[in-house]
Structure formats: C-alpha cells, structure tokens
C-alpha cells in the first residue's frame, strides 16, 4: 500500500461512519474551495501488542517520521505526531495511546481481556490501523463501564483502529481567513461545534488555532440493543508563521486536550 492508498482508505472508512465529513467537504467544495488535510488522528491503548510503536509502522513505511511528543496528564494519554519527509503537502499524523498502567485495575483487566480474546495474528496485520475494533465490541455494559472512567477508552472499545478525525487546513482555503469566519459559516449551516475551552482552541502566539465539530451520532448494534454513540468529527486548523517565516508544524497540548472531547457524549447535551 502506498501513501495515497493508505490515506484514501483512512478517509473512506472515516466518512462511512461520519456523514458530516462528506457534507462539510461538499459544502466547501461548492464554494469553490480545494480541501487540503492538515492532519489525521488515530487512537489506541498502550498495550505492547497495539501501542503507538505498532500503529506508527504503516506510516513510517510510506515515508513519515516521528516529530513532537505530547502528554495529557488528566486524560492519561500520550501522543506523538509524524510528518512526511519528502511530501510537505501530506497530512501530519497524530497518534495517541491510553496509558493503561495509570488506569484502574478494572479498566486494565477489561482491555487485557478484549485483547487476549483476539486472534493474536491480527496484531501483525499490516492493515491493523484500518481494522476498526478487531475485538468483540458488542457489550453496552462494557461500553458504559469504560465510559465512567475514560471516554477515550469507551470510544476505542467501540470504534477501534481508524481515523477519528480529518482536519481541514484553513491556510489553504480561499474564502476564509480567520477561524471565526469558518466557524460561523459552519454554524449557519447547522453544525454544532465543540465549545469545551471555547470554540477556538489556541492563539496566534501559540502558532496554531483549532476548532472542531461535535462527533456524529452513529447507531451501534449492541447485544442489549441499538444505541447512538458519538463516532468521528471534523477539525479545522489555522497555522501561523514562526520567527523564521515557516509555518508552525506541531500541535499544542492544551488545545488537543479539549479537541479530544469532540467525541464526548456529554458535550452533545
């Protein structure tokens, strides 16, 4: 699989459970915009069978390189971002992992059980990052027990390995200069934005401003019945130039901390 195949498969899989993504894409394309992706994000658990070191492999294989590292203490997450070494128009990749050893014994045991129950060969599948939840994920009881402790863990249980958002690069848009303008346009067209920590995360001084939609609600078929669970969201990013004139390439942990909450059902209410 080459880079473009990998990225387009990630998009198709994401768009399949995120109807907003294609609609927003079309809304902007109809205005004459050509959309470029700033970055794509992947989630996982830090179990050595499926941690960042495993999930980064398909990206390293197509020319990406690890750059920044980020720590999210209260969410018990660690993340790393990747940039393509030769294609500067390729989206950055942001991979995070839940630090299981910092979680309760109960959560650790739940994750261990679902991984132990998997076909262990699945972990070395070169398309693991596109495989969704490779474990049995049809228990609403397990979903709610994880949700009490970590929204991230509960989301991972249901949706697994996939892009959880794509991000429109605002610098590349013709009709919008400020993130506020794009936010207003989206709200006028009926989209709800993640307002945790304010609709715009980050400042020009931090060299990155971001906003995002609230994740779509997707009907998931659990053994207890159908439940609507937040799936994936769309993000918007505006980058500012550093002192050397080049655009800032990294992420801002205090902003990312709030962007993670775009899949949190509590924000939907």
Q: Give residues with Cβ within 8 angstroms of 255, minimum separation 6.
A: 197, 201, 202, 206, 208, 210
Nearer to Ni ion, 42 or 142 (CB): 42
Question: Given 3-state DSSP classes, what are the helix, strand and coil percentages for the chain, each rounded to the nearest 5?
Answer: 40, 25, 35
Q: Is 256 in the site for ligand OOG (CB under 6 A)?
A: yes
Q: Is 56 in the site for Ni ion (CB under 5 A)?
A: no
**Residues 226-255: x/- map of binding to Ni ion (CB under 5 A)?**
---------x--------------------
Among 59, 135, 166, 260, binds ligand OOG (CB under 6 A): 260
Place of tokens 């920590």: 197
Pairing of strands 233-239, 163-169: parallel
Nearer to ligand OOG, 186 or 188 (CB): 186
Among 43, 76, 162, 239, binds ligand OOG (CB under 6 A): 43
CB 45 within 8 A of CB 97: yes
Q: Is 236 in the site for ligand OOG (CB under 6 A)?
A: no
Tokens of 188: 């006028």
Longest Cα–Cα distance of the chain, Å, equals 57
> In the bound complex, what is the minimum distance in angstroms from residue 96's beta carbon to ligand OOG?
5
Q: Is 92 in the site for ligand OOG (CB under 6 A)?
A: no
Among 64, 94, 135, 143, binds ligand OOG (CB under 6 A): 94
In the chain the first and final C-alpha atoms are separated, in Å, by: 41
Nearer to Ni ion, 83 or 235 (CB): 235
Q: Is 38 in the site for Ni ion (CB under 5 A)?
A: no
Residue 164 binds which entry of Ni ion, ligand OOG, none, with Cβ cut-offs from 5 to 8 Å by kind? ligand OOG
In the chain, DSSP assigns E strands to 37-45, 64-72, 77-84, 92-98, 163-169, 208-212, 217-222, 225-230, 233-239
Among 51, 96, 169, 213, binds ligand OOG (CB under 6 A): 96
Stretch of 20-28, 170-178, 217-225, 250-258 lying at the interface with ligand OOG (CB under 6 A): 250-258
Tokens of 236: 């918007």
Among 46, 150, 164, 196, binds ligand OOG (CB under 6 A): 164
Q: Which of 162, 129, 43 is nearest to 94 (CA)?
A: 43
> In the bound complex, what is the minimum distance in angstroms from residue 71's beta carbon to ligand OOG?
13
CB 139 within 8 A of CB 222: yes
For ligand OOG, the binding residues (CB under 6 A) are: 41, 43, 94, 96, 164, 210, 235, 251, 255-256, 259-260
For Ni ion, the binding residues (CB under 5 A) are: 41, 235
């Amino acid at each position: 699989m080459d880079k473009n195949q990998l990225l387009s498969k990630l998009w198709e899989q994401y768009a399949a459970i995120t109807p907003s993504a294609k609609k927003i894409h079309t809304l902007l394309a109809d205005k004459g915009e050509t959309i470029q992706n700033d970055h794509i994000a992947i989630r996982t658990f830090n179990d050595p069978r499926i941690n960042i070191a495993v999930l980064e492999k398909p990206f390293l294989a197509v020319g990406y390189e690890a750059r920044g590292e980020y720590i999210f203490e209260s969410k018990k997450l660690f993340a790393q971002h990747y940039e393509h070494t030769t294609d500067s128009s390729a989206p950055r990749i942001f991979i995070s992992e839940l630090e299981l050893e910092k979680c309760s014994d109960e959560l650790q045991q739940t994750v261990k059980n679902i991984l132990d129950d998997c076909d262990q060969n699945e972990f070395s599948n070169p398309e693991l990052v596109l495989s969704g939840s490779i474990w049995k994920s049809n228990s609403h009881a397990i979903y709610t027990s994880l949700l009490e402790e970590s929204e991230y863990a509960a989301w991972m249980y249901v949706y697994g390995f996939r892009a959880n958002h794509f991000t429109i690069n605002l610098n590349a848009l013709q009709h919008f200069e400020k993130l506020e303008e794009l936010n207003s346009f989206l709200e006028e067209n009926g989209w709800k934005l993640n307002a945790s920590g304010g609709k715009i995360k980050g400042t020009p001084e931090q060299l990155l401003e971001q906003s995002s939609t609230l994740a779509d609600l997707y009907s998931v078929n659990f053994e207890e019945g159908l439940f609507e669970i937040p799936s994936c969201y769309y993000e918007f990013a505006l980058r500012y130039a550093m002192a050397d004139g080049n655009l800032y390439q990294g992420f801002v942990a205090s902003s990312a901390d709030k962007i993670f909450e775009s899949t949190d059902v509590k924000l939907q209410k």
